[in-house]
Amino acid sequence: MANQLKGNELVQYLIEMSPEQLRDELENIHPADILDALDEYEGDAIALFSKLPTDKLAEIIEEAEEIDKSDLFYMVDDKRKREIISEMASDELVDLLEKIDPAEAKSLLKGMDAEEAKELAELMSYHPDSAGGIMATEFVAVKEDMTVLDTLKYLQKAGEEAESLSYLYVLDQKQILKGVVSLRDIVIGSFEDPIRELINPKVISVKPDVDQEEVAWIFNKYGFSSLPVVDEDGSMLGIITADDVLDIVVEESTEDFEKMAALAHNEGEYLETGVFGLARRRIYWLLFLMVSATFTGFIIQGYEEALAQVVILAAFIPMLMDTGGNAGAQSATLIIRGMALGEIATQDYMRVIFKEVRVSMVVGLALAVVNALRIWWMNQDLLLGITVSIALFFTIVIAKTVGCSLPIVARKLKVDPAIMAAPIITTIVDALSLLIYFRMAGLFYLS
């Protein structure tokens, strides 16, 4: 069956079928599978793409990655472009219009219905990473004086255009959101039941300027399939659906991973990005971290006398710096995750510090004891073991304190906490661990 075909088999199927046959046969094939097939096809992709029916082309463009939407859109002629945009959901259409040439986007808007063009222009005015920037305006609005039967009849007419039918939104004459009704309640209700008896008036909604990360947190907390967006007066503007939130989670997680690894953000896929493009993403942070590491060099130079007298001290510098960096990164990762999930707020700063200090003391003591025994067994030098182990203990305490503090401070300063992740924390902890180590060495060996 067609819906079971993948890759080259699906490509061959698309080539052999006429446009008329494809109109019926592609109904049950997911657009993601067609995208994969087109990606593997080495022939004339434009000709193959153009064979597909307009509604399926719209679905494929909606399914495509952000950077690929415009490339797919430009594979068809102007007439098909206008047909495609008439089939697309408003939120997906806004994404597309923001990716194509501004002059062409303006021309397409002029060719649309005036009311629809105005609506899209308003959507495009919102920040792309805000609730308004990701919402769709296709939702089902009902009135509280309707019955279940009235609502079902209305859904047969209006439901096809809706972005989601999980919830129906009850609006008054001024479009103020008064409550929500789940489709489940409609389906199991009696035909004569008035909608007003099924309304849940305690609606959780968001304003259009709310950041998309907060939107994702609300979805995660309440398990919604859609979320209404309202203005300051409570008028319904649109909805955000769970599939939009999934894209947000992937996008935000990717950005956080990149920041934590000291990489500049890139929307392209790894294998499709050139060598110089990948190098450019990495080099700026590496240059910054390399220059900042100069401080550790100055510290070592400042203690040349101690190193000259006790050369073996130098052998333990890498271990101290690595352990401190790892300890700080552990704490930072847990705190960043906790803030992302809403488990930790900026006002929890002192509670976090108090807990991490206690954790670091337990961890530091355990590692210090093991390290002292290891040095005594391998080097037969108790004083060296004590020196290194005390430095290790305080390094871990400071590293974990710094690691848990910086992300919270960053959030307080309205900076992305992920920036304060492993690379920066490691640089700070490296310098502090050396200062502690050489102070201990000076105390035990040079006093």
CATH of domain 2-128: 1.25.60.10
- Model confidence pLDDT, tens digit, residues 208-257: 999 888 888 888 888 888 899 999 989 999 999 888 887 776 666 666 55
Choose the weakest-confidence range: 202-211, 300-309, 311-320. 300-309
- 243-263 confidence digits (pLDDT tens): 888 777 666 666 655 555 544
pLDDT bin (cut points 50, 70, 90) of residue 53 is confident
- What does the pLDDT look like over 128-159, one tens digit per residue? 889 998 898 888 888 988 998 998 888 888 77
Q: What is the CATH number of domain 293-445?
A: 1.10.357.20
3-state secondary structure of 194: strand
Residue corresponding to tokens 């989601």: 164
Mean pLDDT of the region 394-417: 84
Provide the token pair at 409.
């401070």
Whether the pLDDT of residue 104 is over 70: the answer is yes
Is the pLDDT score of 206 beyond 90? yes
pLDDT at 209: 92
Q: Following DSSP, what letter does each residue of 267-285 receive, concatenated?
A: -S-TTTS-HHHHHHHHHHH
What's the CATH number for 141-240? Answer: 3.10.580.10
**pLDDT on residue 115:** 83
CA distance 301 to 154: 79
Stronger pLDDT, 174 or 269, i.e. the higher one:
174
CA–CA gap between residue 436 and residue 434 (Å, rounded): 5
Is residue 192 classed as helix, strand or coil in its secondary structure?
coil
CB 254, CB 229: distance < 8 Å: no
Question: Looking at the predicted structure, is the pLDDT value of residue 90 above 70?
Answer: yes
Nearest to 376 by CA among 366, 361, 386, 363: 386
Q: Which residue has the tokens 């009850």?
A: 170
Q: How far is the CA of 281 from the CAs of 220, 232, 278, 286, 339, in angstroms?
A: 31, 40, 5, 10, 26
**Residue 350: which of 412, 272, 257 has the closest Cα?**
412
Q: What is the pLDDT of residue 397?
A: 92
Residue 260 pLDDT:
54
Across the strands, what pairs with 169?
Answer: 141, 180
**How far from the centroid of its chain's Cα atoms is residue 31's Cα?**
23
User: In the chain, what are the helix, strand and coil shares in percent, each to the nearest 5?
Assistant: 70, 5, 25
pTM value surpassing 0.95: no
Q: CA of 377: how far to CAs of 370, 372, 441, in Å?
A: 11, 9, 20
Question: CA-to-CA distance for 99 and 69, rounded, in angstroms?
Answer: 7
pLDDT tier at 368, thresholds 50, 70, 90 = very high
Q: How far is CA 440 from CA 60, 194, 313, 393, 443, in A?
A: 64, 79, 11, 11, 5
Share of the chain above pLDDT 90, in %: 13
Q: What is the pLDDT of residue 117?
A: 84
In the chain, domain spans: 2-128, 141-240, 293-445
Look at 56-65, 305-314, 355-364 and tell me which has the smallest mean pLDDT. Answer: 305-314
Tokens standing for 97?
Answer: 């219009």
Give me the pLDDT at residue 235, please: 92
Q: Extract long-range pairs of 198-206: CB within 8 Å, 24+ residues apart.
A: 198/148, 199/144, 199/170, 203/177, 203/179, 203/228, 205/177, 205/229, 205/230, 206/131, 206/230, 206/240
CB 422 within 8 A of CB 261: yes
Angle at CA 59, nearest 5°, toward 53 and 64?
125
pLDDT score, position 359: 93
Which is more confidently placed, 297 or 22? 22
